A and B are shown apart, each in its own frame.
Chain A
Amino acid sequence: MHPQTALPDEFLARFRTVALERLERLEAGWLQLTQSGDEGNLAANMRRDLHTLKGDSRVVGFGDVNLLCHKLEDLLTLAQLRSYQVPEDFDLVVTMAIHFIAMLLRKRVGQTVGGIDLAGFVQQMDDVLREAQAQKPQPIRPPSRPPSVLASLRADRLSRRTRHYLAAAATTVWLEHAVASGRSRDRLRDVWLALTETLSVLDSEPLAPRLARHVHTARQLARDLGKQIDFALDADELTVHAEIADALDTALLHALRNAVDHGIEDPASRRAAGKPPAGQIRIRVRAGAERVELAIEDDGRGVDLVQVRRRAGEMRLLPPHGGELSEAGLLEILFQPGFSTKSRVSEVSGRGIGLDAARAALAAEGGTIELHSSAGRGTTVVLRAPHSGRHLPVHRFDATRGGLVLAAPAEWSVTLEGDSAAAGAGAGASASASAFDPVVLLLAPGTPSEAGGRAPITLRLSKGGRVVQVRAGGAPTPETAERLCATSDDHPAEVVSIAGVEALLLHPDVLPRKS
């Protein structure tokens, strides 16, 4: 039986509605990408939308939509490599592909799809992709108009680029304050504080509304599928960085949908298994000191490892020479991209759909996803993510003057230059001559000289063969810094807080190398 005919009409109608909404977002996103380039998470969000649509369409039996989504992913990937500077016909074919998919979705309701040349359209997509691949990438042109910071500010959320602009401005204000004196110094610090607080507020988002929305959607899905499910939400009140919220959102969406769709059995099956007819899905949210943890637990059938193993064998994902995979190894296979795209096995066993996308979304923000399953007893998906990516291990050291505290990321190893001790005794001028002084580099000339009676030393920062020498007013100590307004990686510094003291975190990657 064709899977499409096996699903309730209400389910298909909802799929169609959601799919058309995704297509609207994709079309608007594509227009923006080609006109203004990628800002914030636009391209990533589009990829997620398209990937989810692809997975959903396969589940409900819309093979043609699934195929076009796959081809569209190829086009978008290439467009991204070309920084969205694509030929005119490429642009038009992408737009038409979105409309072609919409047409296929709409035509399903009691209409013939005669007259539609799916194979011909796919051929055009393949041709335009092949031609674009053969062309040399055009040099990236600056946008036709300058990026509008005000326009971004009017949006509910700031784009990453805008945040970096503001953070760089805030850092400059802080540096100005550091070299100012009297009332000017206080006023500049007030401005910096106001900027930092505004950035912090604009960047944060409470998790509760998102959780409530997902639970509501999951209830609807359960009703559509004729399942009885009790949901329990046990969540700490917490606010996280907006990008973390997005990553958790994607993973939560996939985990909940899988739990409802594939984890929880129908009432008859549950009774036959000696379970109460109503399944349970529990969402726990806990805020740790540095990370937030979401666990989605269901008391359903669990992952069918026998089927996963069989399918993994068919896809040549098992160890060669007859080696056996552990249970954990088999569960790990469910995160393989494409594991569930070519077989209905994953639909039966669940857990394959979109897990790779969920993991990728979390990994991009420093998070993780784990899956635990017990046959017949249920599955637990655990999502972990940093609150905001704000805490960073650093080497803390004093500047040579100005009373400033400096820091460098701990991923850089730091050593004292061999003759720094001698320098401390006033004899190391040659060793420190090639080192730069962050205070001199970053602050305006005329910095008040407050060496504090300590002779400068030279620190050698190194990472992956790159070496930077820094003049410091004291030996480094390991600390944890709180990032107050993170600048972009190509900005030389940003302001952090170390044990309640404001400090300047250097970005050694963009500081002068050792000569």
Chain B
Amino acid sequence: MTSLELPEVSSPHFSTQATYDGNLIRVHLAGNADLHAKDALESLLTRLHAEIQRLGASEVTVDLHDLEFMNSSCFKSFVSWISAVQDLNADKQYRIRFLSNPAMLWQRRSLHALKCFAIDLIQIEQ
């Protein structure tokens, strides 16, 4: 099985963990994605995009259940990521499934708004 080459972020306030079981890629984000996490998150998503294409995966799950806060700068990284997926040829595009936590205020509307950027590629689940 080809492994997922994605470095984990581990800082006191923000962390990421990625898994790949040969079929499904799952990325778990936790903590506060504020200005200090911006570069790390941007780098992670860029690398994730490349890895998904290398592995030929058709879907990735992003678990936001434990992500307590995300500021607009970090959210922009998601917008850029989605734009990059949209720019791929149709046969290379992959789906993004966000696992949300309705208790998190910031996720309430923003994830549904994010889905509107690419309704055929994004799925929001609780």
Contact = CB atoms under 8 A, between A and B. Distances in A.
A117 B69 contact: no
B53 interface: no
Given A114-B120, A116-B117, A118-B116, A95 B76 contact: yes
A87 interface: yes
B120 A120 contact: no
B120 A115 contact: yes
Given A103-B83, A116-B116, A89 B106 contact: yes
B121 A88 contact: no
Interface string A82-110: 00000111111111100110010000000
Contacts of A103: 83, 117
Nearest to A131: B109
Interface in B84-126: 86, 105-110, 112-121
Nearest 7 A-B pairs (CB), nearest first? A121-B116, A95-B72, A92-B110, A88-B106, A117-B116, A124-B113, A89-B109
A200 B112 CA distance: 50
A96 B120 contact: no
Nearest to A125: B113
Nearest to B75: A92
Given A114-B120, A115-B119, A117-B119, A96 B114 contact: yes
A24 to B, nearest CB: 12
A74 interface: no
A31 B71 CA distance: 10
Contact of A95 (B75, B116, B118): B75
B62 interface: no
Given A31-B72, A95-B75, A96-B75, A89 B119 contact: no
Contact of A92 (B113, B118, B119, B121): B113
B116 A100 contact: yes
Given A88-B69, A92-B70, A95-B75, A120 B110 contact: no
Given A93-B109, A93-B110, A124 B72 contact: no
A128 interface: yes
A120 B122 CA distance: 13
A100 B117 CA distance: 7
6 contacts: A89-B105, A89-B110, A99-B76, A103-B117, A115-B86, A124-B116
A100 B113 CA distance: 10
How many interface residues does chain A have, given as a range? 20 to 34
Contacts of A88: 69, 105-106, 110
Residue among B71, B72, B114, B119 with most chain A CB within 10 A: B72
A92 B119 CA distance: 18
Given A115-B86, A121-B117, 18 more contacts: A31-B72, A34-B72, A88-B110, A92-B109, A94-B72, A95-B75, A95-B76, A96-B75, A100-B116, A115-B121, A116-B117, A117-B117, A117-B119, A120-B112, A120-B119, A124-B112, A124-B116, A128-B109
Contact of B110 (A30, A96, A116, A131): A96
B72 A91 contact: yes
B24 interface: no
A308 B37 CA distance: 54
B29 to A, nearest CB: 15
A120 B116 contact: yes
Contacts of A115: 86, 118-121
A89 B108 contact: yes
Contacts of A92: 70, 72, 75, 106, 109-110, 113
Contacts of A327: none
A290 interface: no
Given A100-B117, A115-B118, A127 B109 contact: yes
Nearest to B114: A96
B55 interface: no
Interface string A13-39: 000000000000000001100100000
Contacts of A30: 72
A115 B105 CA distance: 26
A95 B117 CA distance: 13
Nearest to A92: B110
B79 interface: yes
B6 to A, nearest CB: 25
Contacts of B79: 96, 99
Contacts of A120: 112, 115-116, 119
Contacts of B117: 96, 99-100, 103, 116-117, 121
